[in-house]
Amino acid sequence: MTTQSDWIEWKGGKCPVPEGTRVDVRFRDGDIDEDSMAGIWNWDWVFDDSDLNIVAYRVLDAKAGDRS
């Protein structure tokens, strides 16, 4: 079972979680990419107004409910 944390606002910079962490990311244009590894994304903002900037993320916790 997977649980999701609340959305965390992001304003650019170094990846805020370990690269192997599973996350959902929300872009400035409103698109959301679900359940991907944090390390595949460019977390820095090259242009402040780019629609491809990550503006929020949430961590997916695969360990919640894991009984192994």
* pLDDT range class, residue 65, cuts 50, 70, 90: very low
pLDDT reported for residue 46: 85
List residues bridging with 44 in a β-sheet.
none
pLDDT, tens digit (0-9, with 9 covering 90-100), for 15-27: 999 999 999 999 9
Token look-up 């780019």 returns: 50
Other CB atoms within a 10 A radius of the CB of residue 47 amount to 8
Query: Phi-psi bin for 52: left (phi > 0), alpha (psi -120 to 50), beta?
Result: alpha
Q: Is the pLDDT confidence value at 67 over 90?
A: no
**Predicted confidence (pLDDT) at residue 30 exceeds the cutoff of 60:** yes
pLDDT value of position 3: 62
Domain boundaries, the chain: 3-61
pLDDT digits 0-9 by tens, 48-62: 899 999 999 999 976
